[in-house]
Amino acid sequence: MSTPRLKSKMLVQAGLRQCMALGLMATVVRSGDDDAGTVYLKINRLGPGFTILALARELDGSLRWRSRTGAVPVPEADADAVLEKERRIDPDIWVLEIEDREGRNPLEDALFF
């Protein structure tokens, strides 16, 4: 029997609430398929650059955030190019932009996802 999965829209809404609870500014910059769109985080470090993270399911069924831009923040144009490439492959993606000078993923430990 497979594990039930939350719908993408609910995941994004939960992410917005988590950011609000942590005092971080977050905005949905792209809405995808309510049920099954892949969720991406665009973390804006407010100067040093951006990081794109994708929520991906591992082979064992667990969820993990994977960097799509590498370990070092990239310019916004590069981050947007990664998201555009993903959108061309799957037009149903969700993008949640989070502003955090430290570049933290506020949802890393909140795997209610």
pLDDT digits 0-9 by tens, 97-109: 999 998 888 888 7
**What are the two backbone dihedrals, phi and then psi, of residue 55, each rounded to the nearest 5 degrees?**
-85, 120
Would you say residue 75 has pLDDT above 90? Answer: yes
81: amino acid identity, one letter: A
Q: How many whole angstroms from its chain centre is CA 34?
A: 15
Chain mean pLDDT for the chain:
89
Structural contact between residues 32 and 22, judged by C-beta atoms closer than 8 angstroms: no
Over range 69-81, report the average pLDDT: 96
Would you say residue 4 has pLDDT above 70? Answer: no
Dihedral sign (CA 64, 70, 71, 73):
negative
* Number of DSSP helices (H) and strands (E) in the chain, helices first: 2, 5
Structural contact between residues 79 and 50, judged by C-beta atoms closer than 8 angstroms: yes
Whole-number pLDDT of residue 72: 93
Report how far residue 20's alpha carbon sits from residue 98's, in angstroms, rounded to the nearest whole number: 10
Whole-number pLDDT of residue 46: 94
**CB under 8 Å to 23, separation ≥6 — which residues?**
none
Over range 55-68, report the average pLDDT: 86
- Domains of the chain by start residue, with CATH: 28-99 (3.40.1530.20)
Reported as a pLDDT band with limits 50, 70 and 90, residue 113 is very low
**What are the two backbone dihedrals, phi and then psi, of residue 82, each rounded to the nearest 5 degrees?**
-60, -45
